[in-house]
Amino acid sequence: MAGLIETADFNAVVSDIYEASLSPAHWDLALTGLVNRFGRERWDVAMLVWERVEPGGGRFIAASGVHEMARAAYLQLFAGRNLWSVHGHHMPIGSVTHSDQLVARADFLASPFYRDFLSMFGMEVALLGSLDRQASDHLGLCLPGPSGCDVSRLQEATGLLIPHIQRAVRISRRIGEAELAAANSQAALDHAPSAVLLLDERLGLVYANPNGRALIEDFHLADAAGQLHLPSRDLREALLQLTGTDSARYCHPFRLQRGGLDGLAAMAMRINPDRVGGAHTAGGTARVMVVAAHNPKVSEEGVDRVREWFGLTHAEARLALLLAEGGRIEDYCDLRGVSVNAARFLLKGIFAKTGCNRQAQVVQLINASPIHWASGLPVSDLPQPVA
């Protein structure tokens, strides 16, 4: 096996890729394995997406580390339109490149995709893979992350895996179709796991899926006339700005909090009713979509300490810390946009590296470790674990 790539890790990811050719639901496990085995500390996100550049649009085949809200925002606002997608459309099939080789960093940092979206996640660069192209559609693999990291191992592994991903995609009819469906049809919204609200140009409610109706009731967000009640005037003004087609903003993240209820992360995004199926509803024409979901937070400092202390990958450490802070494995799945099988794959890695064989043991081990009381120290000052 070339360079920095271990044969066992490579073969494990290849096995998951071909399993996904028979069962597309397995793709998120394959992507999780890819970034978990070969990525650096915060390079734990992967997206496999069909995109159309004229007109812009797309659909996810799979993703790892991408919350449901972020997927919806990407498809609605940036799929096929951002600089990486536009320039990546002409990449040679089967190639992998660093985003800086496609787009000047200064140009990308000035673009709406970075300014209004990726900057929230601290991601400035990406590895981009080209898998297939049909007219104005292309199938791309995007592995975004922060700048300043050596990702040569991840790039080498991705380059070796691209032919296997290509074959697996072509084997599966379901995921090999180039025809892109409307991402936000009302049927899809009705079954979305997150709360979804569609608002008109005055922020009147024109549609809410079942989870959205529960959100309105729990947080008392609308009156009998369907007018939305927002927590602050600043938030209302921010959402009103999104309703204008000439607005410089594309989306606006915020958080809903009321009484003793857990806070919910939410994102409002501008929609084009002429392009989005489902934007024209019985209640009127939608101009803004709000997506909200439980978004348990773990501190990046804590993740770094767990990772260093127990020798975990960044994704494994994030899962372990979330469990130790009272979260469930399902919370991790919702937060990172992966299946339970993908989370269990990470949990097996945690078990192997910590010597635990039950989730409760992992929680007890982390809570008994000097992760929190040493929070004032840099990671390098922590003592080494005793073997």
pLDDT of residue 161: 92
pLDDT of residue 130: 94
Q: Is the pLDDT higher at 40 or at 372?
A: 40
pLDDT of residue 24: 78
Is 7-176 assigned to CATH 3.30.450.40?
yes
Range(s) within the chain of domains with CATH label 3.30.450.40: 7-176
User: Are 73 and 292 within 8 A, CB to CB?
Assistant: no
Report residue 46's pLDDT band, with 50, 70 and 90 as the boundaries. Answer: very high
- Strand order in 205-208's β-sheet? 205-208, 195-199, 288-293, 264-270, 251-256
372: pLDDT strictly greater than 60? no
Task: Write the CA distances from 196 to 112, 174, 191, 233, 330, integer angstroms.
Answer: 23, 26, 10, 21, 20
Range(s) within the chain of domains with CATH label 1.10.10: 300-381
**Residue (of 58, 56, 73) closest to 242 by Cα position:** 73
In this prediction, what percent of the chain has a pLDDT beyond 70?
81
Please give the CATH number for the structural domain made up of 300-381. 1.10.10
pLDDT of residue 143: 96
Any idea what DSSP says for residue 246? T
Give the bridge partners for 253, in sequence order. 267
376: pLDDT strictly greater than 50? no
Range(s) within the chain of domains with CATH label 3.30.450.20: 188-293
Q: In 3-state terms, what secondary structure has residue 271?
A: coil
68: pLDDT strictly greater than 90? no
Q: Which of 7-21, 285-299, 306-320 has the lowest mean pLDDT?
A: 285-299
Give the CATH fold of the 188-293 domain. Answer: Beta-Lactamase (3.30.450)
377: pLDDT strictly greater than 80? no
Return d(Cα 319, Cα 172) in angstroms, integer: 31
pLDDT of residue 379: 39
In this prediction, what percent of the chain has a pLDDT beyond 90?
33
pLDDT of residue 295: 62
370: pLDDT strictly greater than 90? no
201: pLDDT strictly greater than 60? yes
User: Percentage helix, strand, coil, to 5, in the chain?
Assistant: 45, 20, 35
What pLDDT digit, counting tens, does each position of 343-356 carry? Answer: 999 999 999 999 99
Give the bridge partners for 293, in sequence order. 265
User: Are 332 and 319 within 8 A, CB to CB?
Assistant: yes
